[in-house]
Structures are given as structure tokens and as C-alpha cells.
Amino acid sequence: MDTTTSILASGLRARAESLDIVANNLANTGTPAFKSELERYALYGSEEATTANGGPEFTGLAPDLRKSWINFSQGLLEPTARPLDVALEGNAYFVTESPDGNLLTRNGSFQIGTDGQLRTREGFKVKLTLPDGQPIPPTFRFDPARNLDIDRQGVLRQDNVALARIDLMEPSERDLLTKSGNSYFALSETNKLKRAAGVEVHQGWLEKSNIDPTTGSIQMVKISRQFEMLQKALQLHGEMGKRSTEEVGRV
């Protein structure tokens, strides 16, 4: 494959990957606390191409999507009037217990399970402490028949009795979080949790996704046009190469 074809093909691949990212963002516009993704590129040149073209001075490098970048900016808060919907204002996360280990989320659409535990819609247990910060005893249960009140500090009460507190945490390195599903984040072994400060808890509210549908739609159209232009350029380059080969054959 010649250099021009390689670069054009790499551009097509990069645009296709960008389309996948934008499409996923738009599909999750209605997902509470969803964080949008942006592409992050590096320039790539194979060892063979670099050596064949004079070493490190070779500049015919192709775009390579190394990873997507998560936009952690907070979404708008939306009232739901549902007592078990909880939104966070500030840099903090709910910690949930999944079968694959602890996962972080800002999606506070909760429910009381049949076991009396506060759980996410997926059934993951939400980590709590006692109001004084001490660990929750194994026998702790909420009464699903009684109203649950949650104050701005995340303290949970039933019949005006403080029973527990939501364990709000933040990672030591937020940029090292990786997505697990549409509203959960996984921690690496080196990324430690610490107690979050300066956070307000809002009962009866949910954080919306931080996606701007208008901007996303414009971006989708722009990338689609770029993809089409690269397709035409690749097709034209192939036709030119074919004609050159035919002309040489005639000579």
C-alpha cells in the first residue's frame, strides 16, 4: 500500500471511530449523569514506513485514535419529585458494589431493595456509613414502607431519625477513570478514593447528561462530510494509480 492510500485509509478509520463516539453520545442524551466522550488522537507511523522514508524526519504520519477523552463536566440538575432520586452538586461520586467490584456513578436513581438496602436501578448496593462515619453493620436495613428523607449532607432519615449517610467519594486521579456501561466508572488499582468535600446532595433531583444535542448533531454532520470527502479522495487516488499503470503498460 502506498503512503497516500495508507494516510487516506487511516483518516477514514479515524472518522469512522469518531462517528461511533458521537453516535453513542447522542444515544445517551437521556441517560442520567452520562458523561460525553471526545476523541483524542496521536500521529502514527509504522516502523517500516519511518525507516523506509529516511528515519525520524519522515512526516507522512497517519491519525491514530489512542483513546477517547471523558468530559467530566457536571450536567444540569433536573427536578423529578421522586424521593429516591438523588443528584450531586460538586466533585463527588456514589460508590456502588457490583459483581465486578466497586464502581463509581453520579446517577442517583435509587430504589429500596427487598432486602432493605439502598440500590441502583441495576441492583448494585450503594455504600453507606452510619451518620457519624462509622461502618454500617451487616444487619442494617431500611423500612421500605416508611418515607426516606435525605438532607443536603447526604444523611438518610426515617421518621426524623438519622439512620445512615451516603458515602460520597472522589478518586485521587479522575482522568484515570474508565467507563463501565453508560453511567458507571471503574477504578484502577493505583487510583484511590478519598472522602469528598464541599458537596451538596439534592433529594428529588437527577443530574442530566452533559451532552448538548445540537452541538452533537452538528458534529455528526461535519464528521460524515469529512468521511465522504476522504472516500472520494481514496477512490480518485485509486483511479489515478490505475490509469498510471495502464499508461506505463502501453509504453
Where does the chain show beta strands of DSSP type E? Answer: 37-44, 62-70, 77-79, 86-89, 93-98, 101-105, 110-112, 118-120, 125-126, 128-129, 149-150, 155-158, 161-166, 168-171, 178-179, 184-186, 193-195, 200-203, 205-207
Please indicate, yes or no, whether residues 133 and 105 belong to a single structural domain of this protein: yes
Please indicate, yes or no, whether residues 81 and 164 belong to a single structural domain of this protein: yes
Please indicate, yes or no, whether residues 177 and 97 belong to a single structural domain of this protein: yes
**What kind and span of H or E run contains 76?**
none
Please indicate, yes or no, whether residues 91 and 197 belong to a single structural domain of this protein: yes
pLDDT in tens, 159-198: 999 999 999 999 999 989 999 988 999 998 888 999 999 9
Please indicate, yes or no, whether residues 97 and 154 belong to a single structural domain of this protein: yes
Closest CA to 215 of 36, 74, 20: 36
Domain of residue 60 covers: 3-73+211-250
| Total Cβ atoms within 10 A of residue 241 | 13
pLDDT of 11 > 60? The answer is: yes
- Identify the three-state secondary structure at position 70: strand
Q: What's the Rg (C-alpha) of the chain?
A: 25
pLDDT in tens, 39-94: 765 554 445 444 444 444 444 455 555 556 899 999 999 999 999 999 999 999 99
As given in the structure block, the three cell numbers for residue 3 are 503512503
Number of domains in the chain: 2
As given in the structure block, the three cell numbers for residue 113 are 431493595
Please indicate, yes or no, whether residues 154 and 62 belong to a single structural domain of this protein: no
Q: Global pTM?
A: 0.77
**What confidence category does residue 229 fall into, taking pLDDT thresholds of 50, 70 and 90?**
confident
| Total Cβ atoms within 10 A of residue 110 | 22
pLDDT in tens, 201-212: 999 999 999 998
Please indicate, yes or no, whether residues 34 and 129 belong to a single structural domain of this protein: no
What region, left, alpha or beta, does residue 35 occupy, with left being phi > 0 and alpha being psi -120 to 50 degrees? beta
pLDDT in tens, 96-131: 999 989 999 999 999 999 999 999 999 999 999 999
Please indicate, yes or no, whether residues 157 and 227 belong to a single structural domain of this protein: no
Please indicate, yes or no, whether residues 17 and 134 belong to a single structural domain of this protein: no
DSSP 85: B
Closest CA to 40 of 20, 65, 13, 62: 65
Please indicate, yes or no, whether residues 44 and 143 belong to a single structural domain of this protein: no
Higher-pLDDT residue of 37 and 39 is 37
Please indicate, yes or no, whether residues 86 and 188 belong to a single structural domain of this protein: yes
**What confidence category does residue 155 fall into, taking pLDDT thresholds of 50, 70 and 90?**
very high
Please indicate, yes or no, whether residues 132 and 220 belong to a single structural domain of this protein: no
Can you tell me the distance from the alpha carbon of 168 to that of 129, in angstroms, rounded to the nearest whole number?
Answer: 10
As given in the structure block, the three cell numbers for residue 59 are 512526516
